[in-house]
């Protein structure tokens, strides 16, 4: 392991200029993860009932603080997915060096470990910057955390690079670099993770049903488990639909497509149909939550307005709702960044095939439309299912509360779909570079 660390450090120091954007993205992901974790540790370090002059009293009680901590911890999920995307594109981009290491006797597992450690160095820089910025914020706010909180801060700064390295190893488990300067992927899970998520959701729903049947099980806990199970079930189903629909459309359109762009996109989907499911998994889950949140927010605010709360009391609830909405928006933004990075990773992986197509006379516009279709085709039915799942969630909530069922949240999947296409379009400048015929020199 010590030799792997030395090799990773040497490779990081000798990186080419065009690789620094990957380091910047990894550093940004680590900075976000550190910020969320440090904020959660700061809130968790507060004990008892206190008076905090922020958030309209939302942080005064231990129960509300626990909800804030849980929200901040959940935001780490899309951030870790984003770091995994950065690790994958990094491994493929450094294929010539990994091929050299394979020729020198390195195993595929060792190559993946070195790539993960190299990402950990960027994550350590990001976590250090995050801690420095967080310390400045604490100094400006005049807040002095207890000593145990500072120990937690140090643990967070050290844990973020370690967790990022583990995520990178997990993300690179299907990437194999051969000694002949070729990078390929082994067979993906083919929906096994979606099936595991569905099984977990079924357990949560069954547990909620059993609690509802018990005499003392009519509180908020079984209902919360039911909602969580429905969200997880819909998200897992949307991930499976994305992969299955990509495989189906890839086979059908490969035989019947008349447009060159559709034919290129269909061939890619047929070759690796579960790539879209891997890239869109976090976004689909966040979409379910976003659809449900927009509707629940409207129903809850309408109910609070009918109860005649004073503006001072109403601000306590609206602040919590707005903070939850901000968390959902941050999760969507991070997931969109993951889609942009995933699209770039796909282009970098196929740069030789794209260069061969360009050299054969395929116009750049055709390749650009094919790149967008690879995102658009499998994502459309998955987002439709995610929107339907979110509708079921907030319809159940509206039924319990007794409020109306709004229709505005149905526009959320449309907005997310448009944002996904725009995120995928950000990788098109990279397409012009990787599809250059000069890349054929390295075949």
pLDDT tens digits, residue range 79-89?
887 887 777 66
pLDDT of residue 421: 92
**Secondary structure, 3-state, 355-403:** HHHHHCCCCHHHHHHHHHHHHHHHHHHHHHHHHHHHHHHHHHHHHHHCC
Name residues whose C-beta falls within 8 Å of residue 361's C-beta, 6 or more positions apart in sequence.
none
282 pLDDT tier (thresholds 50, 70, 90): confident
pLDDT at 414 over 80: yes
At 245-263, the pLDDT tens digits run 888 888 888 888 788 888 8
pLDDT score of 34 more than 80: yes
Note the pTM of the prediction, 2 decimals. 0.74
Q: Give domain limits for the chain.
A: 2-175, 192-442
pLDDT at residue 308 greater than cutoff 60:
no
Q: What is the pLDDT of residue 187?
A: 47
Considering only residues 112 and 372, tell me which one the structure prediction assigns the higher pLDDT. Answer: 372
Dihedral angle sign, alpha carbons of residues 203, 205, 209, 211: positive
Q: Which residue did the predictor score with more confidence, 396 or 248? A: 248
Top mean pLDDT of 40-49, 149-158, 383-392 is at 149-158
Regarding predicted confidence, which is higher, 287 or 191? Answer: 287
pLDDT of residue 186: 46
Instruction: Tell whether the model's pLDDT for residue 443 goes beyond 60.
Output: no
The DSSP 8-state label assigned to residue 395 in this structure reads H
Which pair of tokens denotes residue 149?
Answer: 């909180």
Angle at the Cα of 308 (from 303 to 311), degrees rounded to 5?
100
In this predicted structure, the answer to whether residue 147 has a pLDDT above a threshold of 60 is: yes
> pLDDT tens digits, residue range 349-392?
777 788 888 888 888 889 999 989 988 888 888 888 888 877 87
Name the nearest CA neighbour of 286 among 336, 331, 348, 244. 331
pLDDT in tens, 164-206: 888 777 766 655 555 554 445 444 555 566 667 677 777 777 7
Higher model confidence: residue 272 or residue 94? 272
Average pLDDT of the chain to the nearest whole number: 76
User: ∠346-382-233 over CA atoms, to 5°?
Assistant: 115
Q: Report the distance separating Cα 106 and Cα 114, nearest Å.
A: 10
């Amino acid at each position: 392991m010590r030799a792997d660390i030395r090799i990773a450090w040497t490779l990081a120091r000798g990186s080419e200029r065009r690789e620094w954007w990957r380091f910047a993205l990894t550093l940004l992901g680590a900075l976000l993860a550190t910020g969320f974790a440090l904020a959660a540790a700061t809130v968790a370090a507060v004990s008892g009932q206190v008076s905090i002059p922020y958030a309209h009293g939302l942080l005064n009680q231990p129960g509300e603080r626990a909800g804030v901590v849980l929200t901040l911890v959940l935001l780490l999920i899309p951030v870790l997915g984003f770091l995994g995307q950065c690790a994958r594109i990094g491994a493929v981009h450094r294929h010539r060096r990994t091929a050299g290491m394979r020729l020198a006797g390195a195993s595929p597992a060792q190559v993946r470990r070195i790539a993960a450690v190299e990402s950990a160095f960027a994550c350590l820089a990001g976590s250090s910057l995050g801690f420095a910025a967080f310390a400045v914020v604490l100094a400006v706010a005049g807040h002095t955390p207890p000593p145990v909180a500072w120990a937690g801060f140090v643990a967070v700064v050290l844990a973020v690079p370690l967790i990022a390295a583990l995520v990178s190893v997990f993300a690179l488990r299907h990437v194999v670099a051969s000694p002949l300067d070729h990078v390929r992927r082994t067979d993906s899970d083919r929906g096994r993770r979606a099936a595991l998520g569905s099984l977990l959701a079924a357990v949560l729903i069954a547990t909620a049903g059993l609690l509802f049947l018990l005499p003392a099980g009519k509180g908020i806990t079984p209902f919360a488990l039911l909602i969580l199970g429905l969200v997880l079930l819909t998200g897992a189903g949307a991930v499976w639909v994305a992969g299955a629909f990509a495989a189906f459309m890839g086979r059908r359109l490969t035989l019947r497509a008349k447009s060159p762009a559709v034919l290129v996109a269909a061939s890619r989907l047929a070759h690796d149909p579960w790539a879209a499911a891997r890239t869109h998994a976090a976004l689909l889950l966040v979409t379910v939550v976003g659809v449900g949140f927009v509707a629940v927010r409207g129903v809850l605010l309408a109910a609070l307005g009918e109860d005649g709360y004073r503006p001072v009391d109403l601000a306590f609830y609206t602040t919590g709702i707005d903070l939850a909405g901000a968390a959902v928006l941050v999760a969507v933004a991070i997931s969109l960044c993951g889609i942009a990075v995933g699209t770039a990773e796909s282009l970098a992986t196929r740069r030789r095939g794209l260069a061969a197509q360009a050299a054969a006379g395929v116009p750049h516009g055709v390749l650009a439309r094919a790149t967008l279709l690879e995102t658009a085709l499998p994502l459309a039915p998955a987002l439709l299912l995610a929107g339907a799942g979110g509708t079921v969630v907030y319809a159940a909530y509206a039924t319990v509360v007794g409020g109306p069922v709004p229709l505005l949240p149905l526009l959320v999947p449309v907005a997310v779909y448009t944002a996904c296409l725009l995120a995928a379009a950000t990788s098109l400048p990279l397409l012009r570079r990787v599809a250059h015929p000069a890349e054929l020199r390295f075949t």
